[in-house]
């Protein structure tokens, strides 16, 4: 058995052991980025900048200035800047989305297959027990540490009644170097107009990934 095969099996076993780990992870983006994602995959901030790709962003400028100064070790035991990594959420409903809920009609989620992504040994990763920009947050680069996450808060319906819930609910799973479109099994939106817009783009590019209206991924008010 090759080293890569052994590593794949080990990664899958750790995901299975962590019963709270979701079957898919969420990447939130604006519709202006859709064409770039289906062409280039989901890229990190630094990779987009390096390739001179503009991105429609909903991110708070001060938060992004903080994030670009943060470094962490990932699964290859090398240290990377946070903007070198693609951030995914464990849940769609997060404090981040809550802040920009008025923009929801123009937002979509890429639902990424967690097992398929993590079992790919060409992908390196880290994960956090809360918002990566918070000084209270710890980061990890081994799946042995999944139990250190507060899954009760991460998987609860709401976080506002939980101690430190806002930070914890924004826990992230970060991927290096990128996420190709083959790992996306579904796009989710909250309205028919955007659904049709995205479906039209996919059709023109001969890409067969479903676009669903999934109200569970968005706030109602």
Q: Tell whether pTM > 0.75.
A: yes
Please give the pLDDT value at position 194. 98
pLDDT of residue 64: 76
* pLDDT number for residue 71: 95
| Interval 74-103 mean pLDDT | 96
Given a cut of 80, is residue 136 above it in pLDDT?
yes
Strands (E), the chain: 24-30, 42-43, 71-73, 79-81, 86-89, 107-113, 124-128, 139-140, 172-176, 178-179, 184-189, 211-213
Q: What is the pLDDT of residue 25?
A: 98
**Structure confidence at residue 50 (pLDDT):** 86
Is the predicted pLDDT of residue 184 greater than 90, yes or no? yes
Q: Which of 113, 6, 112, 126 is nearest to 70 (CA)?
A: 126
For residue 134, what pLDDT band results from cuts at 50, 70 and 90? very high
**In the predicted model, what is the mean pLDDT of residues 134-156?**
97
Predicted confidence band at 163 (pLDDT cuts at 50, 70, 90)?
very high
- For the segment 81-101, the average pLDDT, to the nearest whole number, is 96
What number is the average pLDDT over the span 25-41?
96
DSSP secondary structure code for residue 100 in this structure: T
- According to DSSP, the residues that pair with 94 across neighbouring strands are none
| Domain residue extents for the chain | 3-217
Structure tokens at 11: 């990664």
For range 139-153, the mean pLDDT: 98
């Amino acid at each position: 058995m090759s080293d890569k095969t052994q590593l794949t099996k080990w990664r899958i076993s750790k995901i299975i052991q962590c019963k709270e780990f979701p079957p898919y992870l969420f990447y939130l983006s604006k519709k202006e980025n859709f064409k770039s994602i289906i062409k280039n995959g989901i890229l990190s901030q630094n990779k987009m900048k390096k390739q001179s790709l503009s991105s429609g962003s909903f991110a708070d400028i001060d938060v992004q200035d903080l994030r670009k100064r943060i470094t962490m070790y990932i699964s290859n035991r090398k240290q990377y800047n946070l903007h070198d990594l693609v951030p995914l959420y464990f849940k769609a409903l997060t404090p981040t989305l809550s802040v920009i809920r008025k923009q929801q009609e123009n937002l979509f989620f890429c639902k990424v297959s967690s097992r398929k992504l993590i079992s790919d040994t060409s992908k390196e990763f880290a994960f956090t027990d809360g918002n990566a920009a918070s000084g209270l947050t710890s980061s990890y680069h081994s799946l042995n540490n999944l139990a250190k996450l507060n899954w009760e808060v991460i998987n609860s319906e709401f976080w506002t009644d939980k101690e430190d819930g806002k930070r914890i609910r924004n826990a992230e799973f970060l991927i290096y170097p990128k996420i190709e479109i083959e790992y996306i099994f579904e796009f989710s939106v909250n309205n028919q107009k955007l659904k049709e817009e995205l479906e039209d783009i996919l059709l023109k590019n001969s890409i067969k990934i479903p676009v669903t209206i999934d109200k569970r991924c968005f706030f109602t008010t």
